[in-house]
Amino acid sequence: MTDLAGKHFVLGLSGGIACYKAAELCRALIKQGATVQVVMTQAAGQFITPVTMQALSNRPVFGSHDVSGFDAREANGMPHINLSREADAIIVAPCSADFMAKLLHGRADDLLSLMCLARPIGQVPLLLAPAMNREMWAHPATQRNMAQLTADGATILGVGSGFQACGETGDGRMLEPPELLEDIVAFFQPKVLAGRRVLVTAGPTWESIDPVRGITNLSSGKMGFAIARAAREAGAEVTLVAGPVHLPTPRGVRRIDVQSARDMLAATLPCAEQSDVFVATAAVADWRPASTAGEKIKKDGSGHMPQLQFTENPDILATVAQSPRGASGALFCVGFAAESHDLEAHARAKRVRKGVPLLVGNIGPATFGADDNALLLVDAQGTRELARATKLELARKLIAEISTRTGAGA
């Protein structure tokens, strides 16, 4: 899947040590199907060479030597006009504090700033990835500049926090290239859930037998995490309640980590009260040991495992779906069914039993841990298959379905 196929970007580099990350970002954009035209300020050329960026972009680099903004390589000598008109967006990464101030005041004393000023605002978005020392980032002038740039139509992609080249630690680092790529991809996704609040549960649960053993399943959480990402891409405010999995949190998503089914229920209920959509992707254990041993259960030489008594776990989906908000339809509930056989029959029955308008079925052994999946959508009118694809592709299709069914995109 190439999320940016057919897109063309101007990648602008202003001065800063984070220019080394721009090389990886350029490569990542191209691997996602985009074409990239690099434009550098003179200061950027002190940190990374135009030759490096030309090799990665497979295009001549503009602006690093000629501060006038005009270039004889263009027939009309006006790259600030030509290059900006060709772009789907101008991405400035890194964007220094000085360059942000320059943009704020409409200064245009080099090609990159001239191009940002000359771009058609309604057609060519401006995405800024700040990079600076923590004190520069926190300075009131920088914060005022960012607020005004946002009001002027620019999109600020945010910053990371951590160790900085100067030796200090804090906010102001340029985001890592994979983070920037995720934000850029999200920027171009349709905002069909803008203003909506989405709650997603994902992953398995862990039901303890003793301090070192427990009952769980093979769910990786990848489908639920993909749905959380797709919902955020669609403009929603997303909360992800995750069982014990080792997956990075999607950008812009609030994450709550839990262990057991009871933990998940306790985290889900208050969030559901504040949500518009609930997608129950988690593979919640149906049963748990009736009691948990305080110490590791040892073998006794009998050759037999001590008998365990089990009790049923709470049904999270049914509890939420049958709550006042779920039952009234104020909260649109989507269930998941991971089956091993007879998928359609089990999914139909589960939808009715849980009392949800939409249930999504899949074959668990064929998808647990995998990066792709195939889904069966089940509602009161019947069933519809979503052919095997990456989990993110399927998540985006499911979010589009939810938008249509809830009227969010109207």
User: What was the pLDDT predicted at 339?
Assistant: 73
**Residue 225 has what pLDDT?**
97
| Sign of the torsion angle spanned by Cα atoms 35, 184, 74, 45 | negative
Q: What is the pLDDT, as a whole number, of residue 68?
A: 55
- The one-letter code for the residue type at 358 is L
Rounded Cα–Cα distance for residues 92 and 130 (Å): 8
Give the Cα-Cα-Cα angle 124, 3, 385 (nearest 5 degrees): 130
User: Within the chain, which residues score under 70 in pLDDT?
Assistant: 1, 64-72, 74-77, 365, 409-410
The gap from C-alpha 12 to its chain's centroid, in whole angstroms, comes to: 23
- What domains, with CATH codes, occur in the chain? 8-187 (3.40.50.1950), 197-297+304-406 (3.40.50.10300)
Tell whether pTM > 0.75. yes
Tell me the residue type at 80.
Answer: H
Cβ atoms of residues 133 and 165 within 8 Å: no
pLDDT at 77 (0 to 100): 67
Which residues carry out catalysis? Answer: 166
pLDDT at residue 74, as a whole number: 64
What's the pLDDT at 408? Answer: 73
pLDDT on residue 343: 84
Give me Rg for the CA atoms of the chain.
Answer: 26
Between CA 298 and CA 313 the distance in angstroms is 26
Nearest 5°: the CA angle 13, 15, 16 is 105
Q: Are 318 and 338 within 8 A, CB to CB?
A: no
At a CB cut-off of 8 Å and minimum separation 6, what does 34 contact?
Answer: 4, 5, 6, 7, 8, 9
Q: What is the reported pLDDT for 70?
A: 63
Amino acid at residue number 324: P
pLDDT computed for residue 300 by the predictor? 81
Contacts of 290 (CB under 8 A, 6+ apart): 308, 309, 310, 311
